[in-house]
Structure 1
Amino acid sequence: MFVARLNGLSVFDPLGDEVGRVRDVVVTLTGRAASHGPRVIGLAVEVPGRRRVFVPITRVTSIDTGQVITTGLVNLRRFQQRPGETLVVGELFDRQVTVAEEGQRVPAVIEDIAMDQERGGDWRLTKLFVRKGVPAARAGSGLRLRRRRGETMLVDAEAVEGLQEAGPAQAATALLEAYEDLKPQDLAEAIHDLSPKRRAEVADALDDETLADVLEELPDDDRLEILTHLPSDRAADILEVMQPDDATDLLADLPVATQEELLQLMEPDEAADIRRLLTYDEDTAGGLMTTEPVILGPEATIAEALALVRREELHPATASLVYVTRPPHETPTGRLLGSVHIQRLLREPPHQSVGSILDADIDPVPPDATLGEVTRSLATYNLVALPVTDPEGRLLGAVTVDDVLDHILPPDWREDDDDTLREVRDA
């Protein structure tokens, strides 16, 4: 069974209920048992809630090309890689090794690995599918991957040297091919499980848009680690692509001198929005808001509004409300006239103007409103977004419920799912 084909397969319990999907294979490369070939000790399985759990290989009763069957209960505690454990997809794919060929050692790169079950029931890595040569890593190559060159060969694991050592910087071509079906949120979960060195290598291989989406989903420590690893000019490009509020949160954790260096490298308009957000306290409406909500003039048609909120790059919460203002229509705008919910847009004739269906009952909040005040306003109006205005009534931005949740939940909520839910419930 080749690991690249195993990756993504559904995992079922004995009753036929789906538990999750295989996202990696966990092996041990060292020790006495590894002398007969690296031993498979379990699977990293993604379960609902974007959490990865460990399923011991001893609990697996069947693996075929379409599914994995397990027996017994699955421990839903989040998978934590232990010392001596190696992730096949995350760490061995793209590793540079040497293979024996006609009495010589030939450099090669691992693209896939096969695992076989022995008579005693143990699974071991037995063969490696490699591509001869050492390709040059290319930063920002993205998920649309180039056709790779070089002769491929299938070799026995015993004929390979360098499998146990991480060695020089790895590319991430095969890894990203294995994960190309993942959404940014799930890719962030996969990257979080990697070592710092491997995280940096994967970040180098992602295109700017994908890396920006991934950084918005990673824990603070991981995304700060990745951003500081990047060259300054690319870090500035990534910050430009990110949502302004997320970019501001990330910059706020950097030294002032580094903040200023990156802001100077950004486009002036993008930097101006972030400079403005940096002036607000983190737990206020100004610190929480995005400066890029959907804004139109009162004469715009409902058809125009629907075309704007239909844009793929918009977060659902941001697209839920259209804000109608006097010109200019970029924050800070002219006076806010009112808001229109997307549901109201869907119920009215497309040729009608948005100014004729305004909801003026949604009270905006000032930029210095506290997190508690913002939360109560969202709950009062049953909204997922809320306008933020200055004393003159000009729209400065909008706070969305996802940003509020990020600040209400404990800092490590992405990592400790069960404990996090318990803390929120007890609070």
Structure 2
Amino acid sequence: PPETTKSCKDTNCSQLCVRAGECTCHEGFQLRRDGVTCEDVNECQTGSHNCSSEYVCVNTEGSFYCRFSCRPGFTLTDEVTCKDIDECEFGIHNYGTRCEDVDECQTSEKCGGHVCVNLEGLFRCECRTGFMFNTISKLCSTGFKLTRDGRDCEDIDECEDKPCSQECTNVYGSYQCYCHHGYQLSDNDGITCEDINECALPGVCSHNCINTPGGFNCTCPPGGYTLSPDGRTCQDVDECAAGTHTCSASEICFNLQGEHRCFNFECPTNFRRATSGSTGNSSAVLRCVKSCHLLDLECSHNPTHIITFTVISLQTLQHLKGPEVIALLRTATAVKPANLPDKPDVNFEILDSDEQNSFDVIKDSRDGLIVGLICQVKPILGPKELMLKVVIKYVQLGAVYQQNIMNIHILVL
């Protein structure tokens, strides 16, 4: 500190005296021209303050302080918050009698080539597609890159780097991965294609399914089946119709699902084979007609003219709601009118059946002709083989003048 000498007692220094009565001032003050009076130094005017551009220098006695500055049209409400001044309310405007908003977006380039949105009393900048706000430099958002001149953002073709495991399609600002048929996009990363196990889906193949990368193959049981043109369904091979069966010339071939059976039917005495055949979908048939020797009266008087052997297959039925027609016996006899009792008639009768009497025959008509409906009336559990014998009697005036016998070999599967 300055030392006060005895000579200072004779001075009128307003603040400090040093050496031989010389006056001086405290920091923040300066000596006037009279050499004794100290006055305040205005640091805000001399530029000797250290306030930044966002603050305003405020001078005080012997010092100064920095205050946060608001732009024109706003006032400071606390140390850092600016509030809009309603010049119209306080009558301090210079635009006649009414205040109008200034559209800053029309008067100057406020947003550096981007989108300017005018608001009441101010404006807002919005970035063009591909840009994001950055206070230092232009920065492109994900999926875009700066053009060579650095003034704009352009789309990046990510597909050039082959990010997808199979197919890639570039889209604006991004990309999309796609998979080949039989593959699906992974839920984990969205870029990897995973094989679809079609065999895990219900009903893909009628028999066996083998999964392959990007596809699948259906196979059928060996022998008796072939794969249909749709590549999924196994269809039965009719060995009887195709001539690939193993039956001998004297046997009749009967086709079943996936296989076939050979039956050896023989015509009884006094009957000869008339026709025989094999059908893959319904029945195998052997027809025997009466052939009597000359002067064989017993044979001649036998009313049986035709004996037929056939085979049909039935599926196991555990529950039967009502009679189920399994065969139709046709005749050439017209339905007998009630007022003409002497007209020919036809009756049907079961001669031989299973122990449970699972079948019945019902007389009916089709197109004006008498028919017999052979029906299953009770459930049958397979696999089982049954023999059913049905007689067709042609009657006139109460007497049987002809009858035919139908022998049915039934396969319950």
| TM-score band, normalised by shorter chain | under 0.3
Q: TM-score, normalised by structure 1?
A: 0.18
Compare relative contact order (CA 8 Å, sep 6+) and give the higher one, 1 or 2.
Answer: 1
